[in-house]
Homo-oligomer: A and B are copies of this chain.
Amino acid sequence: MTQRQNRVPYYLQVKHSIIENIKSQSWKPGEKIPSENQLMQQHQVSRSTIRQAISQLAQEGILETKRGKSTTVKKKPTDHVKNPGVIQREKGSEFSVHLIRTVHGKKMDYAKKMLGLTEEQSVYMYERLRLADGIPIAFQQLFVPEHIVDTLTDEDLLVFDFHSHLEEIGVIASYSKDYVSASLANTYEADFLGIVTGDPLVDLTRITLGIDQSPLEYCRTKYLPSYFDFTVETRG
Protein backbone atom coordinates (compact mmCIF):
# COMPACT_ATOMS: atom_id res chain seq x y z
CA MET A 1 0.00 0.00 0.00
CA THR A 2 2.39 2.64 1.24
CA GLN A 3 5.54 2.78 -0.84
CA ARG A 4 8.73 4.74 -0.54
CA GLN A 5 9.59 5.49 -4.19
CA ASN A 6 6.54 7.73 -4.43
CA ARG A 7 8.19 10.17 -2.14
CA VAL A 8 4.75 11.14 -1.05
CA PRO A 9 5.06 11.26 2.75
CA TYR A 10 3.68 8.17 4.42
CA TYR A 11 1.28 10.17 6.54
CA LEU A 12 -0.26 11.66 3.40
CA GLN A 13 -0.61 8.23 1.85
CA VAL A 14 -2.38 7.05 4.97
CA LYS A 15 -4.55 10.14 4.93
CA HIS A 16 -5.60 9.50 1.34
CA SER A 17 -6.25 5.88 2.08
CA ILE A 18 -8.58 6.88 4.91
CA ILE A 19 -10.36 9.40 2.72
CA GLU A 20 -10.83 6.78 0.01
CA ASN A 21 -12.39 4.43 2.52
CA ILE A 22 -14.80 7.12 3.55
CA LYS A 23 -15.63 8.20 0.01
CA SER A 24 -16.29 4.60 -1.03
CA GLN A 25 -18.59 4.26 1.96
CA SER A 26 -16.51 1.41 3.36
CA TRP A 27 -16.36 3.50 6.52
CA LYS A 28 -19.64 5.29 6.98
CA PRO A 29 -20.37 8.48 8.93
CA GLY A 30 -20.80 7.78 12.62
CA GLU A 31 -19.01 4.45 12.41
CA LYS A 32 -15.66 3.41 13.85
CA ILE A 33 -12.51 3.26 11.81
CA PRO A 34 -9.74 0.73 12.64
CA SER A 35 -7.68 1.49 15.72
CA GLU A 36 -4.27 3.11 15.42
CA ASN A 37 -2.64 -0.25 16.10
CA GLN A 38 -4.56 -1.93 13.32
CA LEU A 39 -3.74 0.87 10.90
CA MET A 40 -0.06 0.61 11.86
CA GLN A 41 -0.03 -3.01 10.84
CA GLN A 42 -2.07 -2.50 7.69
CA HIS A 43 0.19 0.25 6.43
CA GLN A 44 3.40 -0.93 8.05
CA VAL A 45 4.25 2.46 9.47
CA SER A 46 4.77 3.72 13.00
CA ARG A 47 2.05 4.91 15.28
CA SER A 48 3.26 8.52 15.05
CA THR A 49 2.71 8.46 11.31
CA ILE A 50 -0.80 7.11 11.70
CA ARG A 51 -1.50 9.71 14.36
CA GLN A 52 -0.30 12.52 12.13
CA ALA A 53 -2.73 11.47 9.41
CA ILE A 54 -5.61 11.04 11.83
CA SER A 55 -5.04 14.26 13.74
CA GLN A 56 -5.05 16.25 10.52
CA LEU A 57 -8.27 14.64 9.39
CA ALA A 58 -9.74 15.35 12.80
CA GLN A 59 -8.79 19.00 12.54
CA GLU A 60 -10.32 19.10 9.10
CA GLY A 61 -13.56 17.88 10.60
CA ILE A 62 -13.58 14.55 8.78
CA LEU A 63 -12.80 12.29 11.72
CA GLU A 64 -13.74 12.58 15.36
CA THR A 65 -11.37 11.38 18.08
CA LYS A 66 -11.87 10.95 21.78
CA ARG A 67 -9.56 9.41 24.33
CA GLY A 68 -10.57 5.90 25.25
CA LYS A 69 -13.08 5.59 22.43
CA SER A 70 -12.62 4.55 18.85
CA THR A 71 -12.09 7.17 16.21
CA THR A 72 -15.19 7.64 14.08
CA VAL A 73 -16.07 9.19 10.77
CA LYS A 74 -17.69 12.48 11.58
CA LYS A 75 -21.30 12.79 10.64
CA LYS A 76 -22.26 15.35 8.03
CA PRO A 77 -21.13 18.64 9.57
CA THR A 78 -24.60 20.22 9.29
CA ASP A 79 -24.20 22.58 6.41
CA HIS A 80 -22.41 22.15 3.18
CA VAL A 81 -22.70 25.56 1.66
CA LYS A 82 -21.12 27.15 -1.32
CA ASN A 83 -20.16 30.27 0.54
CA PRO A 84 -17.90 29.25 3.39
CA GLY A 85 -19.03 30.70 6.68
CA VAL A 86 -22.48 31.65 5.53
CA ILE A 87 -25.21 29.52 6.96
CA GLN A 88 -28.89 29.81 6.23
CA ARG A 89 -31.01 27.37 8.07
CA GLU A 90 -34.65 26.79 8.65
CA LYS A 91 -35.35 25.22 12.01
CA GLY A 92 -37.37 22.07 12.26
CA SER A 93 -37.16 18.41 11.38
CA GLU A 94 -39.87 17.74 8.82
CA PHE A 95 -40.26 20.29 6.06
CA SER A 96 -42.93 20.68 3.44
CA VAL A 97 -44.46 23.23 1.13
CA HIS A 98 -48.01 24.28 0.50
CA LEU A 99 -48.91 26.07 -2.69
CA ILE A 100 -51.35 28.88 -1.95
CA ARG A 101 -51.98 30.19 -5.44
CA THR A 102 -50.50 30.75 -8.83
CA VAL A 103 -50.64 34.01 -10.74
CA HIS A 104 -49.61 34.39 -14.34
CA GLY A 105 -49.42 37.65 -16.18
CA LYS A 106 -47.54 40.64 -17.44
CA LYS A 107 -48.23 42.84 -14.48
CA MET A 108 -46.04 42.48 -11.40
CA ASP A 109 -43.79 45.23 -12.57
CA TYR A 110 -41.42 45.16 -9.63
CA ALA A 111 -40.70 41.47 -10.03
CA LYS A 112 -40.19 41.91 -13.75
CA LYS A 113 -37.76 44.70 -13.09
CA MET A 114 -35.81 42.53 -10.68
CA LEU A 115 -35.75 39.73 -13.23
CA GLY A 116 -34.66 42.11 -15.95
CA LEU A 117 -37.58 41.28 -18.19
CA THR A 118 -39.11 43.45 -20.89
CA GLU A 119 -42.66 44.72 -21.07
CA GLU A 120 -43.96 41.94 -23.28
CA GLN A 121 -42.53 39.06 -21.31
CA SER A 122 -44.71 37.42 -18.71
CA VAL A 123 -44.05 36.08 -15.27
CA TYR A 124 -45.41 33.31 -13.09
CA MET A 125 -45.81 33.98 -9.41
CA TYR A 126 -46.16 31.15 -6.96
CA GLU A 127 -47.30 32.00 -3.51
CA ARG A 128 -46.17 29.29 -1.17
CA LEU A 129 -46.17 28.51 2.49
CA ARG A 130 -43.14 26.82 3.96
CA LEU A 131 -43.92 24.44 6.79
CA ALA A 132 -41.70 22.87 9.42
CA ASP A 133 -43.29 19.95 11.20
CA GLY A 134 -46.66 21.09 9.91
CA ILE A 135 -46.30 24.61 11.27
CA PRO A 136 -46.11 27.51 8.83
CA ILE A 137 -42.74 29.17 9.20
CA ALA A 138 -42.55 31.32 6.10
CA PHE A 139 -44.60 33.02 3.44
CA GLN A 140 -42.96 32.94 0.06
CA GLN A 141 -43.52 34.62 -3.26
CA LEU A 142 -41.58 33.03 -6.06
CA PHE A 143 -41.37 34.81 -9.40
CA VAL A 144 -40.16 32.84 -12.41
CA PRO A 145 -39.91 33.95 -16.05
CA GLU A 146 -42.19 32.12 -18.42
CA HIS A 147 -39.40 30.40 -20.30
CA ILE A 148 -38.24 28.72 -17.12
CA VAL A 149 -41.72 27.62 -16.13
CA ASP A 150 -42.01 25.75 -19.41
CA THR A 151 -39.36 23.34 -18.18
CA LEU A 152 -41.12 22.67 -14.90
CA THR A 153 -43.73 20.13 -13.93
CA ASP A 154 -46.42 20.69 -11.35
CA GLU A 155 -44.53 18.67 -8.80
CA ASP A 156 -41.52 20.88 -9.23
CA LEU A 157 -43.47 23.65 -7.64
CA LEU A 158 -43.98 21.72 -4.46
CA VAL A 159 -40.35 20.94 -3.76
CA PHE A 160 -39.15 22.59 -0.65
CA ASP A 161 -35.92 23.97 -1.96
CA PHE A 162 -36.74 25.37 -5.36
CA HIS A 163 -33.34 26.93 -5.63
CA SER A 164 -31.30 23.76 -5.43
CA HIS A 165 -34.04 21.93 -7.28
CA LEU A 166 -33.26 23.99 -10.33
CA GLU A 167 -29.85 22.42 -10.49
CA GLU A 168 -31.24 18.93 -10.24
CA ILE A 169 -33.39 19.38 -13.30
CA GLY A 170 -30.47 20.72 -15.24
CA VAL A 171 -31.00 24.44 -14.95
CA ILE A 172 -27.64 25.73 -13.89
CA ALA A 173 -27.39 28.75 -11.68
CA SER A 174 -24.18 30.71 -11.79
CA TYR A 175 -24.94 33.50 -9.45
CA SER A 176 -27.30 34.27 -6.67
CA LYS A 177 -27.67 37.10 -4.26
CA ASP A 178 -29.55 37.19 -0.98
CA TYR A 179 -30.73 40.35 0.71
CA VAL A 180 -31.74 40.21 4.30
CA SER A 181 -34.03 42.71 5.89
CA ALA A 182 -36.92 42.91 8.29
CA SER A 183 -40.56 43.72 7.72
CA LEU A 184 -43.81 43.41 9.51
CA ALA A 185 -46.54 41.00 8.59
CA ASN A 186 -49.54 42.42 6.81
CA THR A 187 -52.99 40.98 7.46
CA TYR A 188 -52.80 38.63 4.49
CA GLU A 189 -49.46 37.16 5.54
CA ALA A 190 -50.27 37.06 9.22
CA ASP A 191 -53.33 35.02 8.45
CA PHE A 192 -51.34 32.29 6.73
CA LEU A 193 -48.57 32.28 9.30
CA GLY A 194 -50.89 32.16 12.27
CA ILE A 195 -49.55 35.36 13.77
CA VAL A 196 -50.80 38.85 14.40
CA THR A 197 -50.66 41.66 11.89
CA GLY A 198 -47.56 43.67 12.61
CA ASP A 199 -45.41 40.85 13.95
CA PRO A 200 -41.81 41.07 12.75
CA LEU A 201 -40.55 38.88 9.94
CA VAL A 202 -37.14 38.16 8.51
CA ASP A 203 -37.39 39.31 4.96
CA LEU A 204 -35.15 37.37 2.61
CA THR A 205 -34.92 38.29 -1.05
CA ARG A 206 -33.07 36.10 -3.49
CA ILE A 207 -32.18 36.63 -7.10
CA THR A 208 -30.68 33.82 -9.12
CA LEU A 209 -29.08 34.15 -12.54
CA GLY A 210 -28.17 31.40 -14.99
CA ILE A 211 -24.79 30.89 -16.55
CA ASP A 212 -25.73 33.21 -19.39
CA GLN A 213 -26.74 35.85 -16.82
CA SER A 214 -30.39 35.36 -17.67
CA PRO A 215 -32.70 35.56 -14.66
CA LEU A 216 -33.97 32.29 -13.24
CA GLU A 217 -35.90 33.34 -10.17
CA TYR A 218 -36.75 36.23 -7.96
CA CYS A 219 -37.89 35.00 -4.62
CA ARG A 220 -39.08 36.80 -1.55
CA THR A 221 -39.51 34.83 1.64
CA LYS A 222 -40.74 36.17 4.95
CA TYR A 223 -39.78 34.00 7.88
CA LEU A 224 -40.92 33.86 11.44
CA PRO A 225 -37.72 35.01 13.13
CA SER A 226 -37.57 32.10 15.54
CA TYR A 227 -37.64 29.56 12.73
CA PHE A 228 -34.84 30.99 10.69
CA ASP A 229 -31.12 31.30 11.28
CA PHE A 230 -28.89 33.44 9.22
CA THR A 231 -25.31 33.51 10.41
CA VAL A 232 -22.05 34.68 8.97
CA GLU A 233 -18.76 33.48 10.35
CA THR A 234 -15.52 35.31 9.81
CA ARG A 235 -12.14 33.83 10.52
CA GLY A 236 -8.73 35.41 10.25
Residues on A lying within 8 angstroms of B by beta carbon are 56, 59, 61, 76-77, 81-86, 174-184, 198-203, 225, 228-236
Contact = CB atoms under 8 A, between A and B. Distances in A.
A175 B61 contact: no
Nearest to A180: B230
A contact face: mostly helix, strand, loop, or mixed: strand
Contact of A203 (B86, B175, B225, B233): B225
A110 B103 CA distance: 46
A203 B202 CA distance: 9
Contacts of A231: 177-180
Given A83-B85, A86-B86, A200-B201, A181 B228 contact: yes
B61 A182 contact: no
B174 A232 contact: no
Contact of A182 (B83, B86, B203, B232): B203
A19 B232 CA distance: 25
Contacts of A228: 181
Contacts of A199: 184
A176 B232 CA distance: 8
Contact of A61 (B86, B180, B230, B235): B235
* Most chain B CB inside 10 Å of its own CB: which residue of A56, A59, A84, A236: A236
A160 to B, nearest CB: 19
Given A179-B231, A181-B225, A225-B181, A77 B203 contact: no
Contacts of A198: 184, 198
B230 A176 contact: no
A59 to B, nearest CB: 5
